[in-house]
Structure 1
Amino acid sequence: MKRIASILILLSLLVLTACGNSGSTEVSKTSDGKEKVKLLLAAEGTAMYYAYVARDKGFFEEEGIEVELLPGKGGSYVVQQVGAETIDLGIIAVNSVLPAWDKGIDIKMVYQVNVTNLFDFMVPENSKVTDIKQLKGKVIGVTDLGSGEVPMVRSILSSAGLNPDQDVTIRAIGAEGTSIITAFEKGEIDAFSGGAHDLISLYGRGFKSKSLLPEEYLSLPSTGIIANGKIMKENPEVVEKVSRAVAKATDFAINDPDAAYAVMKKAVPEQYTDEEIGRLFLDTFIELTKPIEPEKGYGYIYEDAWAKLIEQFSEGDEPVIKNEVNLDDYLDSSLLEKVNEF
């Protein structure tokens, strides 16, 4: 009987091992003792240049961690994976995390990368549309239905009295400037919302636009590092190390943009086939990551701006946020002092 019991225990352990350690905060290590970390990015390349610079200039290695960058499936996907504890850390456009907070999912914002809104909501310069309300019955293009601008678009529509599920069509058309321009020319979309990288691609091709973005959305936070609540309780040191490496990389790029350009051109050459546009992309995102108040260091979380963000996304008949969100449960600045010790 003892032997049978031992076999059953062994089988149970094997089953658990086969199922994986989803949600575990135990970080595996390389042969030389470095902690291995997977960092899930909402976008690939220049928009999150600091992650690539941190990897390729050795800032992650300096922190004793080996980081695998997993880019490109949109902010909603990153939030889903971090919320499910299948991935511990991600970098997102902050709008993407709001629906998760609305459901009470324990995801912490631990480092604010960009402190101003990098998204716009616009129409062609010659469009007769001058107000959000005039978009009723029309088609709004976005890069991807899981991308960070979608919650913002829904919030703006709701605030204008439009139902984003009934009064308009939100259509994914990709991030390529030529595709967006073609969609406008063929009448497939009437408006477009995207991030700075999408808009640079458009404007670099001579596209002229006018913005419909309400003024109150201009100063909202836009990008940050998120961590699931479990790793913040059990292994905050890893979060601190990743964040500090990102801070070092941001500082490096601000002080030596030419060196950052060389890193990015090698890391994602397809985004730099047009070197002039590629450099414009990078310079724009480096500018977006410069601290408003340098004395507060990198990653500083402006709680008043977050409160404004919650307020904006709670308005309208079909708001993104339907329940009360206590920001004290989700904004976590506890690591930032150490993060800036370099």
Structure 2
Amino acid sequence: MLRKALLTTALVALVSVPSVAQAQNKTVTLIQPNNGTMGFYGLHAARLLGYFEEEGINVKLLSGDTSVPYAAFLTNGDVDLAMLDGSETFQARNANIGAVTVYTVHNRAPEGIFVAKDSPLQSVTELKGKTIGLASDRDLAVVKVAMAHAGTNADGVNTVVVGDSGPTLANVFLKGTAAAFAGSGNDVAALLARGIELRDIMPESAKNSPANTYSMLGSRMAELKEPLCGFFRAYSKGVHVGLEDMEAVAALSRKGVPHEWESAAYGYRYLDTVKGLQVPPNPMKIGEVNVAAWQGVQKDMVMIGAVEKEGSLDAILSNDFMDCANDFDRAEVAAEVKAWMADPANAEFTKKPASQ
């Protein structure tokens, strides 16, 4: 994700206010990018299959379309969970706000550096002296990480923010307004669905890292143990749906995020782009916080100058929720998915649409 730079001074200046999830209720408030998307299919799968309701959890989603750093919502008491990327996580550590990563959503980075299929460029190192279009300013970090993994730096590379709208992105590749585009898979899914074939030349080593993770204030771990166990268990069930039947995820998505299925071609290309991001290394430990993977993220942050030096990760990583998040019957989830797919009330969603 590598979103907005998290301003240390802004975080330190914030004053905590009373928490949003009090002990007497089970409302879980969170902030994350792209609330309504297959990129986080566990969320709407859990909602549509009634898993949050079973846990007695009311999920309150704040709009992620904001220039305010997500970690600031934690320190200001506005949310219980904030989805942070690697850069934000380590900058939050530097700011000493007490944020702890407790659940992994994306086990691989969704970003890439894309070139046209017939482009002569084969490596990011060949972009020296050329222009890379960025989806937003945050994607400059994507370029820096990619260059570092290729054994060089971003010196001599020109960047320009081109946005993520379809026509603008199409011009990057059809009219050659830039040699490459740095952004996420969902930024280019519409182009892929419309027959504009691309290649991702970002080094594979730069992708093998957790990207979007749920963080909370460590000081609230005991207070929020019960509601967050329910939330994460429901979310893990939603993720498990994809491990059982990805076509069921497509059907649930046609109901839960219909705007991503206005074109069946787009829907399937986008799902194909993002489904691998959410597959856990160990299907019995959905959401696991992989310490070794985070050590790799820390090395990346040091390489691009976002973190001064490597340090202990003990204070910012926790697997305290892993047991309860995975305490469910996999066979039962499979049966519930099968029943939902067979229910005549869902026929308009379960029928596979013709490509458009």
**What TM-score, normalized to structure 1?**
0.78
- CA-CA distance at 1:332 after TM superposition: 0.6
Deviations 1:216-272 (A, max 9, x none): 213222222221233225323232222111101111233243443333223322211
For the residue of structure 2 that corresponds to 1:294, the secondary structure is coil
In 2: Cα distance, 1:97 partner to 1:214 partner: 22
Distance change >3 Å, CA 123–CA 222, structure 1 → 2:
same
Amino acid at match of 2:227: V
Deviations 1:136-179 (A, max 9, x none): 45432233334xx5433233345654457x853241511x4443
Amino acid at match of 1:61: E
| Alignment partner of 2:301 out of 313, 317, 320 | 313
Deviations 1:64-103 (A, max 9, x none): 1211223442797433423544322123444543333344
- CA-CA distance at 1:112 after TM superposition: 1.3
Q: Which structure 2 residues correspond to residues 80-229 of structure 1 after superposition, within 5 A?
A: 80-146=72-138, 149-157=139-147, 161-163=152-154, 167-174=157-164, 176-229=165-218
Q: Which runs of 5+ in 2 are unaligned?
A: 1-14, 329-356
Distance change >3 Å, CA 294–CA 69, structure 1 → 2:
same
| Alignment partner of 1:260 out of 231, 240, 249 | 249
- When structure 1 is superposed on structure 2, of 87-96 and 325-334 the one drifting more is 87-96
Distance change >3 Å, CA 70–CA 272, structure 1 → 2:
farther
In 2: Cα distance, 1:251 partner to 1:331 partner: 23
Q: Which runs of 5+ in 1 are unaligned?
A: 1-20
Distance change >3 Å, CA 75–CA 112, structure 1 → 2:
farther
Deviations 1:282-324 (A, max 9, x none): 35433432222224x2112221111112112211xx5222243
Q: 2:34 matched to which residue of 1? A: 43
Q: 1:15 matched to which residue of 2? A: none
Query: Does the 8 A contact of 2:172 with 2:181 survive in 1?
Result: no
In 2: Cα distance, 1:65 partner to 1:298 partner: 19
Query: Does the 8 A contact of 1:94 with 1:221 survive in 2?
Result: yes
Q: 1:327 matched to which residue of 2? A: 313
Distance change >3 Å, CA 319–CA 128, structure 1 → 2:
farther
Q: 2:347 matched to which residue of 1? A: none
In 2: Cα distance, 1:187 partner to 1:65 partner: 49
Distance change >3 Å, CA 140–CA 79, structure 1 → 2:
farther
In 2: Cα distance, 1:126 partner to 1:94 partner: 32
- CA-CA distance at 1:127 after TM superposition: 3.6
- CA-CA distance at 1:273 after TM superposition: 0.4
Amino acid at match of 1:329: A
Query: Does the 8 A contact of 1:110 with 1:331 survive in 2?
Result: yes
For the residue of structure 1 that corresponds to 2:255, the secondary structure is helix
| Alignment partner of 1:278 out of 259, 262, 267 | 267
| Alignment partner of 1:299 out of 280, 287, 302 | 287
Query: Does the 8 A contact of 1:25 with 1:230 survive in 2?
Result: no
In 2: Cα distance, 1:122 partner to 1:48 partner: 22
In 1: Cα distance, 2:48 partner to 2:214 partner: 19
Query: Does the 8 A contact of 1:38 with 1:89 survive in 2?
Result: yes
Amino acid at match of 2:136: D
- When structure 1 is superposed on structure 2, of 47-56 and 232-241 the one drifting more is 232-241
**What TM-score, normalized to structure 2?**
0.76
For the residue of structure 2 that corresponds to 1:114, the secondary structure is coil
Amino acid at match of 2:297: L
C-alpha RMSD of matched pairs (Å): 3.0
Deviations 1:117-152 (A, max 9, x none): 322112223445444344345432233334xx5433
Q: 1:14 matched to which residue of 2? A: none
Q: Which structure 2 residues correspond to residues 234-249 of structure 1 after superposition, within 5 A?
A: 234-249=223-238
Deviations 1:50-77 (A, max 9, x none): 1122223221121212112234427974
Amino acid at match of 1:144: S
Amino acid at match of 1:154: K
- When structure 1 is superposed on structure 2, of 302-311 and 252-261 the one drifting more is 252-261
Amino acid at match of 2:286: Y
Distance change >3 Å, CA 225–CA 191, structure 1 → 2:
same
For the residue of structure 2 that corresponds to 1:194, the secondary structure is strand
Identical aligned pairs, as a percentage? 25
Distance change >3 Å, CA 133–CA 260, structure 1 → 2:
closer
For the residue of structure 2 that corresponds to 1:314, the secondary structure is helix
Query: Does the 8 A contact of 2:103 with 2:213 survive in 1?
Result: yes
